[in-house]
Amino acid sequence: MEKVINCPCGFVLRGSSDEEVVKKAQEHAKSAHAMDLSREQALGMARPA
């Protein structure tokens, strides 16, 4: 199932699976916000696309 995360900074990321959306969210959080996002946090922000 595709999921989407709308980051508060305006960045939108999509993934076709939980794994993909978590990975993209962690990469974005790290590179854009110098933040370590847990899998649970990433999934908590994800919504069905």
Task: Tell me which residues touch Zn ion (CB under 5 A).
Answer: 7, 9, 11, 32
Q: How far apart are the C-alpha atoms of 34 and 14, rounded to whole Å?
A: 20
Shortest Å distance, C-beta 6 to Zn ion:
9
Q: How far apart are the C-alpha atoms of 49 and 31, rounded to whole Å?
A: 23
Between the CA atoms of 39, 7, 17 and 22, what dihedral angle is there, to the nearest 10 degrees? Answer: -20
